[in-house]
Amino acid sequence: MAEVVIVRDAAAGGALVADEIVRLVRADPEVVLGLATGSTPLPVYEALRPRLAGVDVSRVRGFALDEYVGLDPSHPESYRSVIAREVVEPLGLDPARIRVPDGTLAGIEHAGEDYEAAIRDSGGVALQILGIGTDGHIGFNEPGSSFASLTRVKTLTEQTREDNARFFDSIDDVPRHCITQGLGTILRAHHLVLLAFGEGKAEAVAGAVEGPLTASLPGSAIQLHPHATVIVDEAAASRL
């Protein structure tokens, strides 16, 4: 059963996670962090900035959860660009130590295997930040994803494309495929920290925390993890 922490707002949730990440970096300067995109983790990265001032982050390593397939890596909404803009640059991390799955068509054939090998060789993710989609996806593991799945290419659901259309000029510009760490990959991280804020996430949070273990709600996989923390505001906790 995941531990649920109800916080006042997203900023308070971000601060809580940032404190834990700083503790990990101080304990191990080569710590491996599991990074996430989407709007939900932004308060974590914002809270980290002042907290990491003066801390040696030059050897911190990181793996992003997912990437769009077929979007040029230089596109501002590719997750490679987002991770660079929101995490690597503001926090002064070494870009060579932060990986994002390769969603380019040239690299896609081996991208899943390569990513799994890189995570394994790193010794594993110490803390994995997670958001959750309104359809219950974590990473880009859409409903129907196997709990044992590894990094692979998936098709995005229409709901996810609609949810993410706000980042693009029109829904037609939202990619149809992605490459994502699998639920099995995510479950190997030592500590999972899932954040969710706002009423729109209440149903997905309830399913993930208290619903049946089901591939229909991929976030329910966190119930299989011995150390999962769910950080929510009152609105996101309202169906628990």
Smallest distance, Å, CB 229 to ligand GLP? 15
Torsion of CA 57, 80, 154, 105, to 10 degrees: -130
Smallest distance, Å, CB 42 to ligand GLP? 8
Radius of gyration of the chain (CA): 16
Residue 142 designated active-site: yes
Residue 227 designated active-site: no
Sorted by sequence, the CB contacts under 8 Å of residue 122 that are 6+ apart come out as 32, 61, 63
**Whose Cβ is closer to ligand GLP: residue 13's or residue 133's?**
133
Q: Does 185 bind ligand GLP (CB under 6 A)?
A: no
Three-state SS for 57? coil
Residue 162 designated active-site: no
Catalytic option among 116, 135, 163, 233? 135
Could you identify the residue written with the tokens 């229909």? 216
**Whose Cβ is closer to ligand GLP: residue 40's or residue 52's?**
40
Closest to 52 in 3D by CA, of 32, 85, 80, 29: 29
Torsion of CA 119, 191, 225, 187, to 10 degrees: -20
Residue range at the interface with ligand GLP (CB under 6 A); choices 7-15, 129-137, 212-220, 222-230:
129-137
Using left for φ > 0, alpha for ψ between -120 and 50, and beta otherwise, residue 54 falls in left
**Whose Cβ is closer to ligand GLP: residue 35's or residue 52's?**
35
**Whose Cβ is closer to ligand GLP: residue 97's or residue 201's?**
201
Residue 137 designated active-site: yes
Which residues within the stretch 210-239 sit at the binding site for ligand GLP (CB under 6 A)?
none
Q: What are phi and psi of 32, to 5 degrees?
A: -105, 120
Which residues within the stretch 29-58 sit at the binding site for ligand GLP (CB under 6 A)?
36-40
Q: How far is Cα 62 from Cα 98, in angstroms, rounded to an integer?
A: 5
- The residue number whose beta carbon is nearest to ligand GLP equals 131
Catalytic option among 102, 137, 225, 233? 137
Smallest distance, Å, CB 54 to ligand GLP? 29
**Whose Cβ is closer to ligand GLP: residue 116's or residue 163's?**
163
Report, as residue numbers or ranges, the catalytic residues: 66, 135, 137, 142
